[in-house]
Structure 1
């Protein structure tokens, strides 16, 4: 009962606020604005990324290869893994 009340409140939230305030604008399947919560966020994000990768967009290719997606530089920033120091000559 309480879950249904919370769910209806969230659904009404998407109808009563401006479109730019919800976290899912113009959904691909329904073409409606919605405010999603919980595991739906992870699932829709995963579906969106896999859709981008399957149609081979630039963003999808970057996601698939593990590079930065939003135009950040790669050479010196965002490095991961262990660091390798400079060795002195003996």
Structure 2
């Protein structure tokens, strides 16, 4: 099944985020970068966290069409968590 079968691109802004992130993708960027860019673009366009995550899953499936949806969901979750863990934390007094 294709990502659209699961409603991963349910809104215009999620579709736009995925297309925009992939348009700058020359094939040499990592899956990690693609997933994070799609996720962040969807959030910037006012989508909920869940819809941004689903857009990232859809982008991963576009790049890896033979992957199962379950595997894509797990990979995207790990990649997003890993990137968020790498962000600097703000220390409070």
Same fold (TM over 0.5): no
Larger radius of gyration: 1
TM-score per shorter chain, which class? 0.3 to 0.5
**TM-score (norm: length of structure 2):** 0.32
